[in-house]
A and B are shown apart, each in its own frame.
Chain A
């Protein structure tokens, strides 16, 4: 504790910044762990439910049980788009074949947009982890360099270069690097872990999108 209290103003400021990085990183780690874990679990359960029921109206009623899954968003938007298309087609006088092809195209666009939106949601805050992992060691290093400069300045003033004079200043300065690494290492590990998990979920969304397009294509024509 004395290492921190005896440090200079700049080093203290650096330590404060690093503390902010560390606290926020761990908050993101906790939050993302829960979010992605629930999303993965709900997605698996939703897929089972989806292929078991096979009826859009029944599935729509059961979506509340899988609120954390990104696949439910995809399904809900596709379902809504289909409903809109059918309702619009009821009053339209266009050619049936044209309407059918347009519907598939619209569904594909809806799926792409929903997938992008859900990907953004899943990747939210991950950039902060990446920033912490890359910047925190440098910030800590800056604090250390500044602290060592300060220590050498003090040594020059005192006129003594004994170990008892040199060591405390350098030791206080090195705390900044240590805390920078403490903040960065979990952030890097967590970032890689979460990116992997998010990629798995994105893959699941892509697969589900293809399946949904197939299902829509196999649907009986409204007219």
Chain B
């Protein structure tokens, strides 16, 4: 009888010889996480300097135009002036009265008229001094710090805004769209220009427009016409009628050029 070779039964407690390499999977996972971290932090880009973008300025266009947009703004801060020291109180010390020379030479007592003149002058002097003191106190109280918000306490709330021309111009410019593929040539983009005369009624309705000077490019002119048609009715009425105002359309503005270059 041959001896039977004992077979050790498989067990889940022992390492499986067929299990492959868990360590390899672990290293791969570690590598993936490191790559993900690098990608998220942008460290893989190294120290390549970023291209500085030109600054972009945003203008808060208030929809309602006003006649006088500067109203309600604080006065520019004046250089601080030394507060005039108030003169000594005049009530306690009687100022010397200027006696007319005529009276002095005669040595006669001052007449009634002269006394009234003197007392008037003294009263005026006192009033002026009191007024100066009041002004000095007011000036000190109304000195506006640099970080004070724009506006004055007695403003109506509708003072901030833009002029009518700027408002109309901004509205039309917003409605003006031109495909960057139409012109193509940067030199042409820099010199192309068209002049248009427009008339807006007080209701904000475009009453008429005519080309004063065409650009010579049909598509450019058509884009202006489209913008004017879109701007037929302004969002808000105008405070005044805009009569035969010239609008100049060109692409020299930086933002327009930058957009067209994309």
Where the two chains meet, the residues of A that have a C-beta atom closer than 8 Å to any C-beta of B are: 1, 19, 22-31, 34-35, 67-68, 73, 77, 80, 83-84, 87-88, 90-91, 110, 113-114, 116-121, 124-125
Contact = CB atoms under 8 A, between A and B. Distances in A.
Given A116-B12, A117-B11, A27 B22 contact: yes
A28 B11 CA distance: 20
Which applies to chain B's interface (DSSP): helix, strand, loop or mixed?
A: loop
Contacts of B18: 67-68
Contacts of B19: 35, 121
Interface in B41-82: 41
A1 B10 CA distance: 48
Contacts of B28: 27, 30
Nearest to A67: B18
B10 A124 contact: no
Which applies to chain A's interface (DSSP): helix, strand, loop or mixed?
A: helix
B25 A27 contact: yes
B93 interface: no
B109 interface: no
Given A1-B41, A27-B26, A30-B25, A80 B32 contact: no
A31 B20 contact: yes
B10 A114 contact: yes
In order of increasing CB-CB distance, the 4 nearest A-B pairs are A120-B12, A31-B25, A27-B29, A26-B29
B22 A26 contact: no
Given A1-B41, A87-B4, A34 B10 contact: no
A223 to B, nearest CB: 15
Q: Among the interface residues A1, A22, A121, which one has the most CB atoms of the partner chain B within 10 A?
A: A121
A91 to B, nearest CB: 5
